[in-house]
Amino acid sequence: MSSEARHATRPPAVAGTFYPAPASVLARDLRRLLAHAPATPTAPAKAIIAPHAGYVYSGPVAATAYAPLVTRRETIRRVVLLGPTHRVPVNGLALPAASAFATPLGEVPLDQASCEDILQLAQVVVSDAAHAYEHSLEVQLPFLQSVLADFSLVPLAVGRASAEQVAEVLERLWGGDETLIVISSDLSHYLPYTTACALDQRTAHHILALDVHLDHQQACGATPINGLLLAARRHGLQAQLVDLRNSGDTAGDKARVVGYGAFSFFPESRNEQRNAQHPIH
């Protein structure tokens, strides 16, 4: 990466479309979403899966994954954020050349040492194009900025890669309690409500079983999810379903819906409430 590129900031691309552009409005909306998230008792999560649609659609579901992190506001100092590419194809996992990501709530610096470390892996590349207009990572940042204090970011836009390649990157970045892994993914896309509910329920069961064979009809972020599930198996994590709804439950009609799931992953010995799951709608 050039010195000039390392000092660049990736500006928000979907402020004003996926979420409000004015900082005051965005902060207000996030406070409301997080305040209305059910107070599900959980052990400290090592990783979460959260959806990435417009906040009016998926925000209530994403908030259920993020709200419990408030208790670790000062503990989590690094977020490893993976999401699928929607606009620009990429082979492997792409880092940006920029040194920070901006949202209306401020800038989040990249963890440059971690980025340089994983660039030693063959499947990790640098692509500003893959990040420039990608929403799957960006929409997670205001939630993170709302529930955490100071933290650095390792943002990876995931393209064509195997579960093993993703898991190898996660292993390199695993860290301890200071590191949170966030996978950004929606579930089924544009199916009738009842069909989507059935498919998303099956997908949730696969995730809870740490089944690493999800496909992109089940989840647009199947590739990073499969990588996380493989790493979770190796680290003795268990998954908990926090919320499972779709756009027909939140703000859309029920003719063609998009599915949203929130999941948390805990060390096995601390996940005593993993079966206290929300009803599947």
The pLDDT of residue 43 = 77
- For residue 42, what are its two tokens? 């959980």
pLDDT above 70: residue 41? no
**Residue 65 near residue 264, CB atoms below 8 Å:** yes
Q: Is residue 221 part of a domain?
A: yes
CATH of the domain at 92: 3.40.830.10
Label residue 213 exposed, middle or buried (CB < 10 Å: 0-12, 13-18, 19+). Answer: exposed
68-84 pLDDT per residue, tens: 999 999 999 999 999 99
Residue-range definition of the domain harbouring residue 154: 3-270
Q: Judge whether 276 lies within some domain.
A: no
Split into its structural domains, the chain has a count of: 1
**Per-residue pLDDT tens digits for 229-265:** 999 999 999 999 999 999 999 998 999 999 999 999 9
Residue 194's contacts (CB-CB under 8 Å, 6 or more residues apart) are none
Considering the domain boundaries, does residue 278 fall inside one? no
Tell me, yes or no, whether 63 lies in a domain. yes
Rounded distance between C-alpha atoms, residue 42 and residue 272, angstroms: 8
Per the domain annotation, does 158 fall within a domain? yes
**Residues paired with 241 in a beta bridge:** 263
Q: What is the DSSP string of 208-237?
A: HTT-S---TTT-TTHHHHHHHHHHHHHTTE
pTM above 0.75, yes or no: yes
| pLDDT above 70: residue 134 | yes
Q: Is residue 279 assigned to a domain?
A: no
| Helix/strand number for the chain, H first, E second | 11, 12
